[in-house]
Structure 1
Amino acid sequence: MVDRVEWVPEGVDVELPSSARIYDYLLGGGHNFAADRRTAEELIKVLPVRDMARLNRAYLRRVVIELAGLGVRQFLDLGSGIPTVGNVHEVAHEADPSCRVVYVDFERVAITHAELLLADNPNATAVLADLREPEDVLAKASLLDFSEPVGLLAVGVLQFIPDSDDPWGLLARYRDALSPGSYLALSHFTPDRMPEAMAAGKDVFRSTAEPITPRTAAEVLRMVDGLEILEPGLVMTPEWRPETPDEVGDDPNRANLYAVVGRKP
């Protein structure tokens, strides 16, 4: 029996696993369906996906804190997924309640839940849009002032953009629209550290709404062309400015996601 509840928009195929809802499940959220949970459990058999999700989420938190500390007061979160505890607006508003945040996703469950969560928040909103259409995304992100620096977040989403959709060109279009002093922070699945496990994970994702394209270090670095790379450069997610040695752990390669942050000069 399909577990449809009141927060599910009409027309959503609950039998087709969604990356946003799989991620929600791995993070302990409740906005997912049986098909998402089954796929997540298949992934757990071949990849340390719970660790990957947790470490990616911790990286997102540190990035927002760092960028807020650098004076950024606006954030555009591409492929934001389903808002859970510790999402961008919560972290940013701890630094400065005046920070403005726009979440972008094409997953209707994610946006419906985000709209409910943010209904009374004048400094955060969610828009239903496809990150592969930058001009549409930027037009809908009217809460932000693009004449001022923006923190563009593409955390754990670009592996869902195939080469045929040219993620490098897409990011260049976003970069061109940002003012100097803006930042791009991203993380990305990679086959470099666990090639066999990532290949098995890629096979599991073939049955979902968004198959994945893991990429090498060189391919990920191309995504920040033209930007000034912040230290420590391209690293695994737990290695990007950890607050304690425990955040890195004994085997940062288990993260299986590269992380990198660049500043537009």
Structure 2
Amino acid sequence: MDVGKLLLVATPIGNLGDITLRALEALREADVVAAEDTRRTVKLLNHYAIKNKLVSFHEYSREARFEEILGLLAVGKKVALVSDAGTPVISDPGYELVRRCIEKGIEVESIPGACAAVTAVTLSGMDCSRFLFWGFLSPKQAARRRELEEIQEKGIPCVVYESPNRILKLLADVCDICGAETRVCVCRELTKLHEESLRMTAGEARAELGGREAIKGEFVVVIDPQPAETEKLSEQRIAQEVEKRLQSGMTKKSAAAEVAKEYGLPKNRVYGIALGSGKRE
């Protein structure tokens, strides 16, 4: 018996008209559609009068669901994997299913289409000949700020996803870590009726959204962390600046934080240099 095929089908990120002809063909031919959120996917299938078996497959899926899908593929069935919106396996749990299929010699085919990250990049007006995709940053502030320090050090545009509940916290951290003058493109409700893109500094975007009565919709943010000229400061100069603050009674942690903020430097770099300065902890 022939082995089946796993189809990775990109679906619209908002506007149902953005689905491709190949995606529709794949969904109609599939024996089963495995969806991250069946409630959203059934609306798409109903819109195009597609009737086939729909099962849930998400980050909380148990081993039994993996075995069920792999079992269907093993007996020659076609399974279409779709995410909430956009291209599956990008910031969703589908990669584990793909990995298992590859290990078992099951064919995997990608049906390309909409992707929120790429859509935001094209709208940003930034030089994204090279860019970094980060997905969702940590919901915990300390971890999120460390991630932003990494992004700042890369010095190339970075795409992140964020919820309406945390967008102001994200922009506040971008202002603090990367600088309030950092260019951003904050995209909301991409391809939908109330789509908007705020192309401005992080500080301006924070003020704009913070002044609204309510913040709704899913966000894609492109951050352009331009390395400051001050990052060219030698380690000796940085150590001197830290030492001056240590002499005034500051701790190494506080001294490093102040120098990093004043000169627009990554905190972890300054703190690493601070560890070799003076004795005060």
TM-score (norm 2): 0.30
TM-score (norm 1): 0.31
Greater RCO between the two (CA within 8 Å, min separation 6)?
A: 1
Larger Rg: 2
